[in-house]
Structure 1
Amino acid sequence: MKPSERLASLLAQPVDAAGAVGWRGAVPVSWSDFSHLARSWQTAFELAAGQCFVLFFSDGLEFAAALFGLWQAGKQAWLPGDLTPATQSALRPHVAGWAGDGAGVDGVPRLQAAERAAPFATKPLSPQAEGLVVFTSGSTGAPTACVKQLRQLFDEVDALEQAFGAPSAGGTVVASVSPQHVYGLLFRVLWPLATGRTQQARTLVYLEDLAELLPSAQAGSLAASSPAVLVASPTHLGRLPVQVPAEAARVRQVFSSGAPLPDSAVPDALRVFGHAPIEVFGSTETGGVAWRQRNRAAPVFWQALPGVQWRLDDGRLELRSPHLQTDDWTPGADRAVAVASGFELQGRADRVVKIAEKRVSLQAVEERLLKGGMLSALRLVMLDDPRVQLGVVAVPSAEGWALHDSAGRRALAGALRQQLLGVVERVALPRRWRFLPELPRNAQGKSTQARLLSEFDPRRPALREITREGGKVMLTLQVDAALPQFDGHFPDHPVLPGVAQLEWAVLFGHECFDITGAFSGLEALKFQRVVTPGTQLMLTLEWQAANRLTFQYQSVHGPHASGRVLFGAPT
């Protein structure tokens, strides 16, 4: 029986009373108990009015029982990745009830498993049934319903077993990811149910907890020596422990999906597990598309999963796959280049990014911040040091500057982060902000990504005001005590080095004027007064004939430095 056929007949099969479907901690859960619970959920959903129901469980086996009971009752499961106020508001008009953990969906009745279990099913589930709606941020950031037929899910499980099944046959699946997302649903729940692997109901938080979540010697010698499969996220794999737990040796396969796996996580995984994670590329809409495993000396390109076809149209990936709703070629959301036997990804073709495994629409973030009234313009950039995160370069409105000047930069950033709650999950909120009097542009007047990224250079002073008069530019700079130029200069009496003042003059000169020649010397250089932390400097720049940039630093204390920077003729 194919894995897909086993899933379709899961509640119609004779139950192996002695066999285990999985574990809850160290306690085995029998197929008999699982089947009874699933059929009790079937009764509950059959008796409930309505067609669409939210499932939100942290326990993988409870989730699986409710899901198959719902499907056998002919109903449709809606899986949100979170229950933020925005998600609840979007769900409420579409669903008749919910089942699971926590407070659930406000204003929607909660269902419990019935005391009476339905009889064993007499026919398998229909592959064409639209049994699942995954509530994803989609391409706009607003919660979007992605409908899945059961055949899409079940066919993908066939592909997973064909591609990855042999090394972990008869093993136990442990996951650090939620079953609420397609990745967790497929790898953590459906794949083991379809192939006879056991699954751990509890979610792995720390790798050190493997000892508590894998079958032990008390469970029998066969279970204690069985292989393990770890279904993980890039975030989890990016913080592996220095001390390797003994149980890591049992992990035959490690999977990673949901976001790009950082290059730095691969050698750490090799150290802990002895093999690289199997990275799976795909999305809620497309299902699994391709995989790679960056073992030593192994190719790093992506290989299509069984049954998936791909091609490129003007650099954009197009797919034809049994995991899609249509048999036609479907444009993907990623750019790629073809290489031998596979492809390499070149980034998203839309404006949706992944941060901490959460999909974030840059368009939705921009719209919410501009509607909040404290910003008049902004640009978003992706930062990758020390981790992937969202940076905001923004021009405050009068209201925003008033808060900035009275309570400080952090207060304004905190107020803006509050505006994004309900649109962006807390873990993916912007962490780094730059507030400027105008959007940064290069000498050609363009806000390029390189120019925006330069605003996050820690050696750069904060710019408060900028004024232009003919060939002159006046900039007001805030000399913060945290600037690294003060380090060691001097420990008890910090002073801004003269070389830093020269660097700033050249830096802002290049940004304000179209300077193309190379630095060739200095003239009339004077340092008249030291600059200490907290000083607000006025930097006046003028681009003169003969490729000379004059600069002058002043403050309320008087002049600090001046001179001319010489540049060679443009080449």
Structure 2
Amino acid sequence: MPMRRRACGHVARRARLLWFARPVTHSLPALLGRHQAHDPVTTGPEPRSAARFWADVRAIAAHLPELGRGDRGGRSELVLVCHDRYLFAASMLAAWERGYVVALPPNAQPAMVTALRKSGTVQTVLHDVDDMAGLDVRAIVASRPEPNGEVYAPPAPLASDRRIVVVYTSGTTGAPTACPKTAGQLVGEARTLARTFAIGRGDRVLATVPPHHIYGLLFGVLVPLVSGASFARETVLHAEPLAELIARDQTRVLVSVPAHLRALRVLEPGRIEGVARVFSSGAPLPADTSEDLRERFGWSVTEVLGSSETGGIAWRDRAGAPWTPLEGVKVREGEGGRMLIDSPFLDPGVSRPYVGGDRVAVLDEGRFHHLGRVDGVLKVGSTRVSIAELEARLLAIPGVSDAAALAIEVGGARGWESWAAVVAPDHTAQTIRAALLPWLDPVVIPRRIRIVDALPRDPGTGKLRRESLRALFQSE
């Protein structure tokens, strides 16, 4: 989600004021509570029913290590690495059935999984990956028949204060940070999202975002499970396979990120039909991408603002429009326009208001304009420059398909300078600078520009880590 990441689970030092009322914790819905036994949980040529899904959950749970008495209370974790969204969901619920907390690594790289597994609280790894140590859940569910004659009863609602998941920030501004989540935060938010955007029984959801990311977890797994909808097992990133999957499953709800949505411009107008709702998060959606999707496919893309730390904050249906806070969320301006948040999706132990790392301008009825990161506006010489504005100007240059800018502190009177990497095969650094000059003060024009074949974005979320972007310039 567009907000950058801060350390989770700690009291915000500036957030001692308690002038926001604590939100009331509503009772949580039961996962699968809106599914009848034969309702599909997954889409595709071989959909899995709610009864089959719940039987698979119990089968996986039976293979999990027994928790000792001293391990209960949210202290024992299972690392979950499943690319198949159905196996991911079944394994997650199985872990909860046995009292475990599910740890979701920021990626499935072996070194990252090994590092998490060495934690003293981790018991094992649930996975669907070849040559990975732990419990391969594929074999458990592979040959199970559809339940016949069994009485189907969905799981009981989880206790709202129970810790159920640890998600990790993407590391966009540094090392990934653990963010523990309670059932009240996650399941409560999923219910709010389903209600706000009218997602319910019969809806078919396809996410291009992997489920270990909080946005993909909420929209791609938990929202369908609480609303009676079904979800695609696959996580498809590229335009043609995505269009084929949408047609195969008659997808109605597409959950994606700007980088993936931008790639759909290679498809002919009208190539994708039947999608009623499109969501985007992870970064601001460029206005030209939003308009192009509207013209090609008739889509009005809903952007969702949030972060691993805060959960969802707000939404809007048009690029540049004010943001509308989600139900129960309040946003106000702090010192220097800094975002102050109170929300039912915050860690219960965090003091209110939570001091965010973004700037806002609050309007009527709590709506607001998002003005970018607090640390995303800096001075080059005596001129203020917004990294977000610089990136927007780069993306507006004809022939530029992707771009990212980086601020580097150089000290002295200059203070900072900007660097930029762009995907623009028909351009040179000189032509890029020339295209920026009509819009930007010369001192703001990036000192170093790299023309690259592709930016090193995370394939699932489309995000760029600062270290990866900076590495592009180290080879010069």
TM-score bracket, shorter-length normalisation: 0.5 to 0.7
Deviation at 1:269, TM superposition (A): 1.4
Deviation at 1:484, TM superposition (A): 5.1
Partner of 1:265: helix, strand, or coil? Answer: helix
Deviation at 1:214, TM superposition (A): 4.3
CA contact (8 A) 2:66 2:98 kept: no
Q: How does 1:26-425 map to 2 (within 5 A)?
A: 26-47=45-66, 51-84=76-109, 87-88=112-113, 90-94=115-119, 95-102=122-129, 109-110=134-135, 112=137, 123-137=156-170, 141-165=174-198, 170-210=202-242, 212-214=244-246, 228-244=252-268, 248-294=272-318, 300-314=321-335, 315-326=337-348, 328-341=352-365, 342-350=367-375, 384=391, 385=394, 386=400, 387-391=402-406
CA contact (8 A) 1:53 1:99 kept: yes
Partners in 2 of 1:130 and 1:46 — Cα distance? 19
So what's the TM-score if we normalise by structure 2? 0.67
Structure 2 gap ranges (5+)? 1-25, 145-149, 378-386, 395-399, 423-427, 432-441, 444-476
CA contact (8 A) 1:87 1:143 kept: no
Partner of 2:194: helix, strand, or coil? Answer: helix
CA contact (8 A) 2:100 2:164 kept: yes
Partner of 1:53: helix, strand, or coil? Answer: strand
How high is the sequence identity, in percent, across the aligned residues? Answer: 34
Partners in 1 of 2:169 and 2:430 — Cα distance? 42
CA contact (8 A) 1:90 1:143 kept: no
Q: Aligned letter for 1:275? A: W
Deviation at 1:448, TM superposition (A): 4.0
CA contact (8 A) 2:405 2:421 kept: no
Q: How does 1:496-511 map to 2 (within 5 A)?
A: none
Q: Does 1:447 align with 2:393?
A: no
Change (3 A) 1:48 1:212: farther
CA contact (8 A) 1:210 1:248 kept: no
- Superposed CA offset, 1:213-248 (max 9, x none): 3475xxxxxx86xx6000011101111134447563
Deviation at 1:111, TM superposition (A): 5.0
CA contact (8 A) 1:39 1:120 kept: no
Partners in 2 of 1:193 and 1:274 — Cα distance? 28
Deviation at 1:136, TM superposition (A): 1.9
Deviation at 1:281, TM superposition (A): 0.2
Partners in 2 of 1:77 and 1:234 — Cα distance? 28
Question: Match for residue 19 of structure 1?
Answer: 39
Deviation at 1:304, TM superposition (A): 0.2
Q: Aligned letter for 1:20? A: P
Partners in 2 of 1:4 and 1:42 — Cα distance? 22
Deviation at 1:17, TM superposition (A): 4.2
Partner of 1:231: helix, strand, or coil? Answer: strand
Change (3 A) 1:350 1:483: closer
Structure 1 gap ranges (5+)? 217-222, 353-380, 395-438, 459-481, 486-506, 509-571
Deviation at 1:447, TM superposition (A): 2.6
Q: Aligned letter for 1:181? A: H
Deviates more, 1:303-312 or 1:244-253: 244-253
Partners in 1 of 2:373 and 2:307 — Cα distance? 12
Q: Which structure is higher in strand share? A: 1
Change (3 A) 1:123 1:84: closer
- Greater Rg by CA: 1
Partners in 2 of 1:456 and 1:80 — Cα distance? 29
Deviation at 1:212, TM superposition (A): 4.1
CA contact (8 A) 1:21 1:193 kept: yes
Question: Match for residue 378 of structure 1?
Answer: none
CA contact (8 A) 2:257 2:281 kept: yes
Q: Aligned letter for 2:413? A: K
Question: Match for residue 473 of structure 2?
Answer: none
Deviation at 1:169, TM superposition (A): 5.3
Deviation at 1:325, TM superposition (A): 1.6
Deviation at 1:63, TM superposition (A): 0.6
Partners in 2 of 1:188 and 1:122 — Cα distance? 19
CA contact (8 A) 1:55 1:78 kept: yes
CA contact (8 A) 1:44 1:113 kept: no
Partners in 1 of 2:209 and 2:55 — Cα distance? 26
Q: Aligned letter for 1:306? A: E
Partners in 2 of 1:261 and 1:122 — Cα distance? 38
Partners in 2 of 1:306 and 1:349 — Cα distance? 25
Deviation at 1:99, TM superposition (A): 1.2
Deviation at 1:40, TM superposition (A): 1.2
CA contact (8 A) 2:270 2:297 kept: no
Change (3 A) 1:346 1:133: same
- Superposed CA offset, 1:339-379 (max 9, x none): 33411112212579xxxxxxxxxxxxxxxxxxxxxxxxxxx
- Superposed CA offset, 1:482-532 (max 9, x none): 7859xxxxxxxxxxxxxxxxxxxxx99xxxxxxxxxxxxxxxxxxxxxxxx
Q: Aligned letter for 1:304? A: P
Q: How does 1:503-522 map to 2 (within 5 A)?
A: none
Deviates more, 1:93-102 or 1:251-260: 93-102
Deviation at 1:115, TM superposition (A): 5.3
- Superposed CA offset, 1:93-117 (max 9, x none): 3222111133687xx6345478599
Change (3 A) 1:275 1:141: same
- Superposed CA offset, 1:20-62 (max 9, x none): 1112x42222222211111112112244787211111111111
Partner of 1:28: helix, strand, or coil? Answer: coil
Partners in 2 of 1:202 and 1:137 — Cα distance? 21
Deviation at 1:173, TM superposition (A): 0.3
Q: Aligned letter for 1:72? A: E
Deviation at 1:312, TM superposition (A): 1.0
- Superposed CA offset, 1:225-278 (max 9, x none): xx6000011101111134447563311110001122122211111123313210
Q: Aligned letter for 1:312? A: E
Partners in 2 of 1:290 and 1:14 — Cα distance? 26
Q: Aligned letter for 1:128? A: D
Divergent runs of 4+, >6 A = 116-122, 455-458
Change (3 A) 1:89 1:457: closer
Partners in 1 of 2:184 and 2:193 — Cα distance? 14
